[in-house]
Chains A and B, each alone.
Chain A
Amino acid sequence: MTDNLAYLRETFLQPAPPPGGDSTVLGWLKRNLFASVKDSVISIIALLVVVWFLINVVDFLFIEAVWTGTNRLACATVAQGGTLPDTWHGACWAYVNAWFTQFMVGSYPRDQLWRPITVAILFVATLTPLLIPKVPRKGLNAILLLIVLPIVSAVLLLGGVFGLPFVETSFWGGLMVTLILSFIGIAVSLPIGILLALGRRSKMPIVKMACVTFIELVRGVPLITVLFMASVLLPLFLTPGTNIDKFVRALVGVSIFAAAYMAEVIRGGLQAIPKGQYEGADSLGLSYFQKMTFVILPQAIKLVIPGIVNTFIGMFKDTSLVSIINMYDLLGIVKASFGDATWLTPVTPLTGLIFAGFIFWLFCFGMSRYSAFMERHLDTGHKR
């Protein structure tokens, strides 16, 4: 039989090289950018686009940008009455510099600036240890941050006591308002959200129905309608003559909205707790209240910390909508600054928006990174 075979290999083949062994730069490039002809074409096109884009962005933001100046002429081309060449196109950082204090605290009295600065320092001082998992005494820390700090901040920022001059909320603005609104919004919506979530999982039909209706109604409408309701209708719903501060109205709107979303996040956590935990608590004879506070909620909330942070990111972004109901948060004040005749140039809006966008991005990206970190950190040992 073997004679009929046309070909028979008599020696062993050399073993093929191990895959992915080429750890040089060239090897990496070949694997990740130029694996095939199609890949190479895509890579080269993408590279060209990225380079073109980066050159333009860097040129606009840094190279051609104007850093100093006192009015619009610093950032105006010859055709617009300035001195820059007509082909000039760059950011006008001088304008951001001039408006910087406004962007941060609005029209807060300039001789009282130490008050928002103190609050900011206190905020960082109480928040940082809470964010680092290793630091002990989380409970005390949370009370400090969520209960003591808001009270101290309110006293400091509003004033009117201890010899501090009273500062009306209409003077507040900028990043300060954005942070206060989203922070208080989350601090208020967390307990309400927990109650709503418990109500939604309750066995009592009426309580359940009330909570479901509230949650679905609020989640079904845009925030802007809730804000309009809080700003226009709230006074109509209250006893005639009742006067509510505009800031508080926005706060009510934001809190109602956040509470509904928070409730759904918490509900997710409650559902993830194994039934044995509920049954175990019941068999120990704990009351509903004890069962929830000591057994279920601590576990459920820990599970949904990333979800809470994500809700907070959403809230932080959403507070920018209060500019539509005439409040001057960061975006609102940036937008208002476009109308300032002193700095009116074609590049002013773009510069202002890039600045505001960067600040928003910094906060949100930081929080989302933190959320991802917490997810990994909490994951250990919780996988079932």
Chain B
Amino acid sequence: MVTSTDVRDDGGRSATSLLYNPVLRQIIYQVLTCAFIAWLIWYAASNVAENLARANMTAGFGFLTGRAGFDIAQSAIPYSSDSPFTRALLVGFINTIIIAVCGIITATIIGLLVGIGRLSSNWLIAKLCTVYVEVFRNIPPLLVIFFWYKGVLSLLPDVRQSLSLPLSVYVSNRGIFMPAPVFGERFWLIPAALVVGIIISLIYRAMARKKQMATGKASPILLVSLALIIGLPVLTFIALGTPITFDPPVLGKFNMRGGTVVGPEFLSLYMALSFYTAAFIAEIVRAGIKGVSKGQSEAAAALGIRPGLTTRLIILPQALRIIIPPLTSQYLNLTKNSSLAVAIGFADLVAVGGTILNQSGHSIEIIAIWMGVYVTISLATSLFMNWFNTKMALVER
């Protein structure tokens, strides 16, 4: 376009003005964009400054080191009202991670079962799984949470009439009360034994692979590994003379005393997120399995590979390539949806942040922390996914 010449005679000068130069136009557009963004930031920042000045407040994260002053019911790390705000935020963050990890594991299991079930040759199972998916995909997650919290768990009996299950487990509308393990002195040896078991079984696996490559003989990897991973800790446990005792919950004047408790807030959030996300995972699994060409399983059958091995060695690795990218985005969605905890008072990052926002009035800082944490989680996952995709991509010869 720069070279285009116009034949119109208007004094010998080309009619194509500088304005139509695409390079120049791009620069102008970008300068305008920059100017606009700069203006937007300046506008917002100056208004924030003025609003804060009017309110006699200062911006900054300095307040975070102050004493929190409030208690948090569900905390995985030691926390009291004397701890600083940063500690409270950490408690919330850990709770977010806990709920996300628990939810992801359960949702994956349910989703896998339902997804495979939808492809089942058994008509009843296939239809049941379809109904499950269509019900949960089409109602808001918040409603599912309330359904568990207000519709199911609050119908459980009062704490004084708890349902008593074996092993001193009590179920009431205050949650599930279980005996708390009290670890003995040398208890650390047991996880150590577990780690040793895993390492040995990994070494064994590598050796067995080598042997199979060399001689063609398969070794019972699964059995040996299981024996090592489960057997070693159990043996250590017995050898140490069972260094663990249990502190069962007993009904006090108001509540269960002792033991550990899984609160109804955690339970309902966990169940809702698992069941809701599982519906989406099921669809992804189904699409993944259907995405593997039928010729693959037929070729495997022609080679005389057993059906179990066909699934494990041929279908699954190929299906996973299709499944994993959308699966990760569902995991991210679950993590983001865990912020709905605020609606039922489970102390996740958003709920704790909301309390701090109220107590301190520092709204900008708290919202910045929220967004920063979630964006970091998302970006980290995306980076991992990119790496994974390159690693998993079909190597075409």
Contacts and interface: CB of A to CB of B under 8 A. Distances in A.
Nearest to B136: A361
Contacts of A318: 140
A26 to B, nearest CB: 14
Contact of B122 (A43, A206, A220, A239): A43
A240 B54 contact: yes
Contacts of B151: 349-350, 353-354
B146 A335 contact: yes
Interface in A234-269: 235-240
B336 A222 contact: yes
A206 B30 CA distance: 6
B30 A207 contact: yes
**Residue picked from B29, B138, B340, most chain A C-beta under 10 Å:** B138
A232 B358 CA distance: 11
B147 interface: yes
A357 B142 CA distance: 10
Contacts of A237: 43-44, 47-48
A229 B366 CA distance: 10
B140 A360 contact: yes
A302 interface: no
B84 to A, nearest CB: 22
B122 A331 contact: no
Nearest to A50: B128
Contacts of B139: 317, 357, 360-361, 364
Contacts of A239: 47
A239 B50 CA distance: 8
A356 B51 CA distance: 40
Contact of B367 (A35, A233, A364): A233
Contacts of B340: 222, 224, 321, 324
Interface string B333-371: 000110110110000001000100100000110010011
A105 to B, nearest CB: 20
Interface stretch (B9-17, B253-261, B372-380): B372-380
A141 interface: no
A204 interface: yes
B371 A323 contact: no
Contacts of A232: 357, 363, 367
A88 to B, nearest CB: 13
Given A47-B124, A217-B375, A236-B48, A205 B142 contact: no
A323 B143 CA distance: 11
A299 interface: no
Nearest to B376: A220
A239 B54 CA distance: 12
A313 interface: yes
B147 A39 contact: no
Given A203-B26, A317-B139, A368-B137, A222 B47 contact: no
Given A320-B140, A350-B151, A228 B367 contact: yes
Nearest to B332: A220
Contact of B138 (A33, A42, A206, A360): A360
B123 A32 contact: yes
Nearest to B54: A240
A222 B339 CA distance: 7
Contact of A320 (B125, B142, B364, B371): B142
Contacts, number: 160
Contacts of B123: 32-33
A236 B363 CA distance: 10
B143 A353 contact: yes
B350 A225 contact: yes
A55 interface: no
A35 B123 CA distance: 11
Interface in B170-216: none
A219 interface: yes
Contact of A207 (B33, B43, B122, B343): B33
Given A220-B379, A236-B51, A368-B137, A207 B142 contact: no
Interface in A327-342: 331, 335, 338
A346 interface: yes
Interface in B63-95: none
Nearest to A320: B140
Interface string A209-228: 01000001101111111001
Interface in A181-225: 203-207, 210, 216-217, 219-225
B134 interface: yes
Nearest to B29: A204
Contacts of B147: 350, 353, 357
Contacts of A32: 121-124
Contact of A221 (B125, B357, B371): B371
B37 interface: yes
B143 A331 contact: yes
Nearest to A364: B138
A338 B149 CA distance: 13
Contact of A324 (B141, B343, B379): B343
Given A35-B122, A50-B124, A207-B30, A365 B138 contact: yes
Interface in B7-55: 26, 29-30, 33-34, 37, 43-44, 47-48, 50-52, 54
Contact of B374 (A221, A350, A361, A365): A221
B178 to A, nearest CB: 25
Nearest to A368: B138
A203 to B, nearest CB: 7
Contacts of A205: 30
Contacts of A152: none
Nearest to A43: B124
A364 B26 contact: no
A46 interface: yes
Interface string B118-135: 000111110010000011
Interface string A346-384: 100110011011001100110010000000000000000
The 4 residue pairs across chains A and B that have the minimum distance between CB atoms: A220-B378, A364-B138, A32-B123, A349-B150
Given A222-B350, A324-B343, 19 more contacts: A39-B122, A46-B125, A50-B124, A219-B378, A220-B378, A221-B336, A221-B375, A224-B339, A224-B340, A225-B371, A229-B367, A229-B371, A240-B54, A324-B342, A349-B151, A350-B150, A360-B140, A360-B143, A368-B137
27 contacts: A32-B124, A39-B121, A46-B122, A204-B26, A206-B30, A207-B33, A220-B374, A220-B377, A222-B337, A222-B350, A222-B374, A225-B339, A228-B367, A232-B367, A233-B364, A236-B48, A236-B51, A240-B51, A240-B54, A317-B140, A338-B150, A346-B154, A350-B151, A353-B146, A353-B147, A354-B151, A361-B135
Interface of B: 26, 29-30, 33-34, 37, 43-44, 47-48, 50-52, 54, 121-125, 128, 134-135, 137-143, 146-147, 150-152, 154-155, 336-337, 339-340, 342-343, 350, 354, 357, 363-364, 367, 370-371, 374-375, 377-379
